[in-house]
């Protein structure tokens, strides 16, 4: 139990200093999974002392389900202004879902064996980390709370992102209240029409129900 508490405190400390910087994403994601796992495992230790377990259930592969959801909904992340902040707010909210789900499942299923317990709890932690932010991004996009509005912004940079499988995505960067280099994905044709920097573009924005703007259209100004 003490090991879980120490791991939770260390994870929170690391996330406090790194979570705001997108450049640390490959550090913050594993650390967050570690936080979620240890929090769920801590709760599991309390529940395991109270009830006799009934049957064993395998949840090791449940984390694969949100991967299909990300393939469908992930495209809405790029053009959400402040999407990185919304992702992490949703990720921390997912701790409630993962820990409560592990507790409820522990009342009905056996988590006592070491290896299955680690795999099951870890898989459930990853499941909610992937699921809740993806749903939040989509819900914010799908349900708007105000009429569309226009906004003129200045491009700070444009960039061609070469994918690992040979594909390319075309991106521009703008300054917002969330980030000095907010990334937006655009078409190849639009990319060729604009200059590198100091050119204004007109954004058509929709305010989502979770309070974040979604870019519906990008045009030359």
Q: What is the mean pLDDT of residues 126-140?
A: 95
Strand partners, 173: 157, 183
pLDDT tens string 12-53: 999 999 988 877 889 999 999 999 999 998 888 776 555 555
Using DSSP, state whether 1 is helix, strand or coil: coil
Find the DSSP H helices in 49-187. Answer: 65-73, 75-78, 83-106, 114-142
Q: Name the range with the highest mean pLDDT among 43-57, 107-121, 123-137, 156-170.
A: 123-137
Asked which of 63-67, 121-125, 217-221 is least confident by mean pLDDT, the reply is 217-221
Stretch 76-97: mean pLDDT:
94
d(CA 42, CA 49): 12
CA atoms within 13 A on the CB side of 21: 9
Q: What is the mean pLDDT of residues 194-199?
A: 76
Strands 109-110 and 55-56: parallel
Q: Which residue has the tokens 């300054």?
A: 175
Please name every residue paired with 154 in a beta bridge, in sequence order, or none if there are none. Answer: 200
CB under 8 Å to 148, separation ≥6 — which residues?
204, 205, 206, 216
Cα separations (Å) of 194 from 44, 78, 79, 131, 171? 55, 19, 18, 36, 11
- State the average pLDDT over residues 90-118: 83
Query: What's the mean pLDDT in 212-221?
Result: 90
pTM tops 0.75, yes or no: yes
Parallel, antiparallel, or unpaired: how do β-strands 213-220 and 55-56 relate?
Answer: unpaired
182-186 vs 109-110, strand pairing mode: unpaired
Top pLDDT among 110 and 76 is at 76
Mean of pLDDT values over 48-77? 79
Please state which CATH number belongs to domain 149-220.
2.40.50
Residues of the chain with CATH 2.40.50: 149-220
């Amino acid at each position: 139990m003490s090991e879980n508490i120490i791991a939770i405190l260390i994870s929170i400390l690391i996330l406090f200093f790194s979570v705001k910087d997108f450049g640390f994403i490959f550090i913050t994601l594993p650390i967050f999974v570690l936080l979620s796992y240890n929090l769920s495992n801590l709760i599991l230790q309390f529940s395991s002392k109270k009830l006799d377990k009934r049957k064993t259930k395998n949840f090791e592969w449940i984390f694969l389900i949100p991967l299909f959801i990300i393939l469908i909904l992930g495209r809405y992340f790029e053009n959400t202004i402040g999407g990185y902040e919304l992702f992490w707010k949703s990720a921390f909210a997912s701790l409630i879902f993962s820990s409560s789900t592990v507790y409820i499942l522990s009342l009905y299923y056996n988590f006592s064996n070491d290896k299955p317990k680690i795999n099951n709890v870890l898989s459930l932690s990853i499941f909610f980390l992937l699921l809740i932010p993806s749903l939040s991004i989509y819900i914010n996009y799908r349900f708007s709370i105000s009429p569309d509005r226009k906004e003129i912004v200045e491009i700070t940079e444009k960039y061609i992102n070469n994918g690992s499988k040979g594909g390319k995505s075309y991106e521009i960067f703008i300054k917002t209240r969330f980030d000095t280099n907010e990334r937006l994905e655009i078409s190849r044709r639009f990319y060729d029409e604009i200059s590198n920097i100091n050119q204004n573009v007109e954004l058509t924005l929709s305010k989502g129900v979770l309070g974040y703007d979604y870019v519906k259209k990008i045009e030359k100004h």
